[in-house]
Structure 1
Amino acid sequence: MRVALFPTCVNDAVHPSTAIATVTVLERLGVQVDFPFEQTCCGQPQYNTGYRRATEPLVRRTAEAFDGYDHVVSPSGSCVAMIRDHYPRIGARAAAEGRGDDLAGRAGSLAGRVREFTEFLVDVLGVTDVGAYFPHTVTYHPSCHGLRALGLGDRPRRLLEAVEGLDLVELPGAEECCGFGGTFAVKNPDVSAAMGADKIRNAESTGARVLCGADNSCLLHLDGMLRRRGSGLRPLHLAEILASTEEEPWS
């Protein structure tokens, strides 16, 4: 089984610890992970802003970078949703407009092989207990892409519940958006901030020490607001919790 890591731009540039944690967990489970250096941005920012044709070269480059791998694993539901839901559509539209008939095939092939991290662990490897230790109270925020686009369901929760020492508490209003939404936060800052404030109030009401998520884009949004509030609540990606075998993995 050939497996490649797709860390995404956010993790590569801002939170490399999440990508490292993803590999740590996979290797602990006996999976050899490759990192194709040809990969770049998947094109989600361009596509979400309306630049479909400008996204096509990135679709092609991403598909070529991961050609030949059985599974492409990413700790980012939003980027997985971009590839799985939008790549085939972009490829089909390009072919219909006479620009690269092979793009649809390449995009469709990659879409069928890309897996969000928790999907890969639960559905492909068939595990929920990854040998982690994290003796803290945690509440989980399901991001919109993971919840609605990918249908991750209870996979992240099942993984967290199997972590030794972890106390998982329910997040009120868990299914409500945190307000990030990619370029939405830039174009609608007041609404975005209000939604983030609601999410933070709900998270703080749980008494948890850690706010866990599976998308660092959402966690970055919430982290900035938490820091400005002087809150003691700590955002942490699920992969970093699953990689933990000590009391303070972030120290």
Structure 2
Amino acid sequence: MPEFHGRSAVVTGGARGIGAAIARTLVKSGLGVVVADLLAAEGRATAESLGATAMFRRLDVTDEREWRQVLDDAEANFGPLAVLINNAGIVDFGGIETESPAMFRHVLDVNLVGAWLGMHLAAPRLRAAGDGVIVNISSTAGLTGYPGIAGYVASKWGLRGLTKAAAIELGGSGVRVCSVHPGPIHTPMTAGFDASMTAGQPLPRFGEPEEVAAMVGFIVDKATFSTGSEFVIDGGATAGQALAEPVRAHDSQR
């Protein structure tokens, strides 16, 4: 990624799981990376493990002021913004009848509005730089429906659509926008899930965060004629029958 040397990247939900793996991949590509998360202790530990070209910043993705500060810090420390990874997300296990309105709105605020805020504030910086990449981490729940996680499904479909709208708007400025759709991945969010979740997949296992990070690295570095595109990394789950109903577990960020 030589054209992005001396420039910055922001990874939300970067403290652990998929976000931390993406941060590791981007640092290896020569970017200065801001690990942005609400999880301060884990976020600092991740950033420290990445060396001098990474730092932690607290970020509530629903807070416009914090977003502005994180983007300012990224550019002040590592150079003009080149890459934004919207990875922060939560899940609530509630169906249409059982999920509370407050929780439904909260899931949408974090997973969809939070990503929109990041794009809204990052886009002028990327336009000014003349290029850049935004990758939105959606889900197979943004490609098909699942019972019992209504807010999560709605947010991930919304993020898929937002990706396409942004790709159309920003393409003329050299900015690419893509979505990634992981299936079952070993992360804190899926810690309570068992092997039944992958039983119908052609590749009957959980994926690893590093596999998602490799896909993101490809999008940023190699997929230079792709924008508005969906990159699916799900062990073939969406190629056939839908996965079994998700096993209930505690809410958790990636």
User: Which TM bucket (shorter chain)?
Assistant: 0.3 to 0.5
- Name the larger-Rg structure: 1
- TM score, norm. by length of structure 1: 0.36
**Larger helix fraction of residues:** 1
- TM score, norm. by length of structure 2: 0.36
**Larger strand fraction of residues:** 2
